[in-house]
Structure 1
Amino acid sequence: MNRDDNRKTDMNNSWTEFKQKYLITFWNPISAIIAAGILATYYFGLTGTLWAVTGEFTRWGGHLVALFGGDPKNWAYFKIIGLEGMPWQRSDGLLLIGMFAGCFAAALWANNVKLRTSKYPIRIFQALVGGFIAGFGARLAMGCNLAAFFTGIPQFSLHAWFFAVTTAIGSLVGAKVALLPLFRTPLNIKKVNQHTVLTQNPQQVKRRFILGSTIFFVTALVGLALLFVIPKLGIALLFGVAFGLLIERAQICFTSAFRDLWITGRAYMAKAIILGMLVSTIGVFAFIESGATPKIFWAGPNAILGGLLFGFGIVLAGGCETGWMYRSVEGQVHFWWVGIGNILGATVLAYYWESLAPYLVNDFEKINLLKLAGPYGGLLINYALMIIALFFVLWWEKRFLAKRKKMAIDTSSKTSGCC
């Protein structure tokens, strides 16, 4: 073998190793969520807006209403969030398009696309109803797990703290309801005599990798081209692709962060999300001090009720906004229904906003912690609250696991004791 052949072999081995490590193997959630927090910070600094999704999904619902003869542009809610143009003409729309493209590309690279359905009708009911409740609650609070939580808290909006706490409470109730016998499906256990060998069609893997690469590069090239025409749209599309890659490859789902905490005591995802916000907050603060305007929303009953509904809905449905997005492109049909329910719930809220706002929104302030306590006072308050949240999560995890261990010991003692 000559030198050129050795070099070619080394390059092939390096590419295979890179592909396996970064494009096929799932990424570390903590690193990915911290990266998402940093990206969200720069997205705010460059565009003045948030990494958010349900506002745009609500607009998609508005377009559907208009398609069937309605006039959503005159709804009070759309006068607040806007309904001008089509999704590809708005930064929020291109952000979502980019996220779906990034998710799909990542899933194809890893050959993680397969049509998966459930034969149990109760699962469709859970997906639709849970998604509807979550979508309604998210837009009532003016944000979901992103704009009213992960990116809302680093914006120093008090409403995001109301939403975060009540989402946790709502998810606890949702976890208890989801464990009721009504929602339990029978386990189909089969006796096997040997392990099933998992095989992949090499040609299918290759085709999917090429398709994923095509989607990624075409979307990225369109984003780069838009930078020279309408920079904000180009930035939105490129950041959307990056967010999509992160949530699919790291399987970032806020539902699991809350649900796992209550059901299994596992706090891995919850801790990762708090760390991501801790990193993001200082960057957002720097941009605000440089003149950027944070997104502050009403700290009223709408945020509290919205959080309760959202937390309950995402656990009942089995996925939040980021969760259903990447799972739907992976072929999990259950999450198509979650997405449909989510958009329907958000659209219904938009329709009834004018009736609800006088009681839940209009008489309440948009409270900016930086203005309430001064720049550094607000920064300290935000960090103190996040540290308290982190300590609570750590305490709950330790308490839960210790309690479960004690129960296991007690059970073992009873079964092994003699009479």
Structure 2
Amino acid sequence: MTWESFKQQYLIKFWNPVPAVIAAGVLATYYFGLTGTFWAVTGEFTRWGGHLLQFAGFHPETWGYFKVIHLDGTPLTRVDGMMIIGMFAGCLSAALWANNVKLRVPQHRIRIAQAVIGGIIAGFGARLAMGCNLAAFFTGIPQFSLHAWFFALATAAGSYFGARFTLLPMFRIPVKLQKVSAATALTADPAVAARRFRIGMLVFVAFVLWAVARAFDAPKLGFAALFGLAFGLIIERAQVCFTSAFRDLWITGRTQMAKAIILGMAVSAIGIFSYVQMGAEPKILWAGPNAVIGGLLFGFGIVLAGGCETGWMYRAVEGQVHYWWVGLGNIIGATALAYVWDDVAPALATNYEKINLLQQFGPIGGLFVTYLLLAVAFGLILWWEKRFFARQSTAAPRLAKESA
């Protein structure tokens, strides 16, 4: 394979989401094995909010929530911080390779309001549940934590209500029609595309060299940066967005991303299981109302905002200003939860057990239960897909008859 064909096939064209999400599941497993933590982002974004408050003269380090997730150091000295920096570098590299960077401003204030309010709701819900679509779902379920299943079911329900809510007339933006004499061809300047590709390669190579150098001094931090780079490449090139996985189920009946996510979790689960059998400690969190309420808020919020944590990150780097607002809302919502955590934690979270399925059912039993639940979820998605399109095909002749 020549360099040009490799570049076009693997660096410029979008990737198939199914193998990409499975690859993300495999990477998440090794990330856990090498760093001792799981692929997660909102916890670190909450810390960023805490640092901003410290800069403003407040003392969030005294809050109970920051004592749980720790506010020590800086993003450059924390595993999660280095991983997220790597994700942004990966997203930027991939977007530049494909000439997919362009400043796109929201065309209506309604969209900005949706982005900020939805981001705040999603950020608040994610941190209430101690994780977003990653830590409390995609990497939470393979960690065999019961709270992740509570969160997943609640997120599905919340996204359903969010999808119905965003279809209300108040969210329909007036479209201004303009008469033209001919269609305008969509063209890309080859010189601009080539220059951006070179810049993308420069960003990629420079970050790899920096991360490798960092690994000699602090291995976990260097590895975290490299894993983040790989995660960023995957989510941008495959356009991995958990919002679309949930929202598309209810609105269009498309299930490809939802199926890919389940397969990714299935692959990750056996890897995590292997590490646990070798002595690694899985991340188990409270299986309380916080997981359910947090999931409902998160599911509703990501649909209202139009993007989840992974979705807004790569779209923001691509120049979609809407998602800058989503990210800001996420940090605000997560920080707000940290502020009220001491008041709500006993009733919603900390008085409940942290239930590890591997301990509850035994190692083999816990693995079997996890795969059984994943199989049930996959089956329900297939059933919903068949039902959705069957209803669509039944409704089409009726609507045609009524319009006639």
- Normalised-by-shorter TM-score class: over 0.9
Counterparts of 1:7-86 in structure 2, within 5 Å, are: 14-86=2-74
Q: Residue 375 of structure 1 is aligned with which of 344, 356, 363?
A: 363
In structure 2, what is the equivalent of residue 353 of structure 1? 341
In structure 2, what is the equivalent of residue 10 of structure 1? none
In structure 2, what is the equivalent of residue 261 of structure 1? 249
Write the letter of the residue equivalent to 1:315: V
Deviation at 1:89, TM superposition (A): 0.8
In structure 2, what is the equivalent of residue 5 of structure 1? none
Give the SS at the match of 2:240.
coil
Question: Is 1:88 matched up with 2:76?
Answer: yes
Supply the distance in 1 between the matched residues of 2:82 and 2:275 (Cα, whole angstroms).
23
Question: Is 1:284 matched up with 2:272?
Answer: yes
Counterparts of 1:91-240 in structure 2, within 5 Å, are: 91-240=79-228
Supply the distance in 2 between the matched residues of 1:221 and 1:110 (Cα, whole angstroms).
22
Supply the distance in 2 between the matched residues of 1:138 and 1:245 (Cα, whole angstroms).
24
Supply the distance in 2 between the matched residues of 1:202 and 1:119 (Cα, whole angstroms).
28
In structure 1, what is the equivalent of residue 281 of structure 2? 293
Deviation at 1:47, TM superposition (A): 1.0
Supply the distance in 2 between the matched residues of 1:295 and 1:408 (Cα, whole angstroms).
48
Write the letter of the residue equivalent to 2:214: L
Aligned CA RMSD, in angstroms, stands at 1.0
Deviation at 1:195, TM superposition (A): 3.1
In structure 2, what is the equivalent of residue 344 of structure 1? 332
Write the letter of the residue equivalent to 1:51: W
Give the SS at the match of 1:361.
helix
Write the letter of the residue equivalent to 1:266: R
Write the letter of the residue equivalent to 2:385: E
Per-residue CA deviation, residues 239-279 of structure 1 (Å, 9 max, x unaligned), is 00000000000000000000000011111110110011111
Give the SS at the match of 2:2.
helix
Deviation at 1:190, TM superposition (A): 3.6
Question: Is 1:303 matched up with 2:291?
Answer: yes
In structure 2, what is the equivalent of residue 4 of structure 1? none
Question: Is 1:386 matched up with 2:371?
Answer: no
Supply the distance in 1 between the matched residues of 2:239 and 2:58 (Cα, whole angstroms).
37
Write the letter of the residue equivalent to 2:303: V
Per-residue CA deviation, residues 2-38 of structure 1 (Å, 9 max, x unaligned), is xxxxxxxxxxx81111111111100000010000000
In structure 2, what is the equivalent of residue 324 of structure 1? 312
Supply the distance in 2 between the matched residues of 1:415 and 1:118 (Cα, whole angstroms).
35
Supply the distance in 2 between the matched residues of 1:411 and 1:351 (Cα, whole angstroms).
52
Greater than 6 Å deviation, 4+ residue runs? none
Write the letter of the residue equivalent to 1:110: A
Supply the distance in 1 between the matched residues of 2:71 and 2:250 (Cα, whole angstroms).
38
Supply the distance in 1 between the matched residues of 2:174 and 2:270 (Cα, whole angstroms).
48
Supply the distance in 2 between the matched residues of 1:156 and 1:188 (Cα, whole angstroms).
51
Give the SS at the match of 2:350.
coil
Supply the distance in 2 between the matched residues of 1:89 and 1:192 (Cα, whole angstroms).
56
Deviation at 1:191, TM superposition (A): 4.1
Per-residue CA deviation, residues 258-305 of structure 1 (Å, 9 max, x unaligned), is 000001111111011001111111111011111110000000000010
Flag structure 2 segments of 5+ consecutive residues without an equivalent: none
Give the SS at the match of 2:283.
coil
Supply the distance in 1 between the matched residues of 2:134 and 2:399 (Cα, whole angstroms).
42
TM-score, L = length of structure 2: 0.98
Supply the distance in 1 between the matched residues of 2:68 and 2:62 (Cα, whole angstroms).
11
Give the SS at the match of 1:292.
coil
Supply the distance in 1 between the matched residues of 2:326 and 2:24 (Cα, whole angstroms).
23
Range 252-261 or range 215-224, more displaced: 215-224
Percent of aligned positions that are identical:
65
In structure 1, what is the equivalent of residue 323 of structure 2? 335
Supply the distance in 2 between the matched residues of 1:264 and 1:191 (Cα, whole angstroms).
30
In structure 1, what is the equivalent of residue 385 of structure 2? 397
Supply the distance in 2 between the matched residues of 1:51 and 1:414 (Cα, whole angstroms).
51
Supply the distance in 2 between the matched residues of 1:213 and 1:123 (Cα, whole angstroms).
33
In structure 2, what is the equivalent of residue 275 of structure 1? 263
Deviation at 1:205, TM superposition (A): 1.3
Flag structure 1 segments of 5+ consecutive residues without an equivalent: 1-12
In structure 2, what is the equivalent of residue 9 of structure 1? none
Write the letter of the residue equivalent to 1:352: V
Give the SS at the match of 1:228.
helix
Deviation at 1:200, TM superposition (A): 1.8
Range 178-187 or range 127-136, more displaced: 178-187
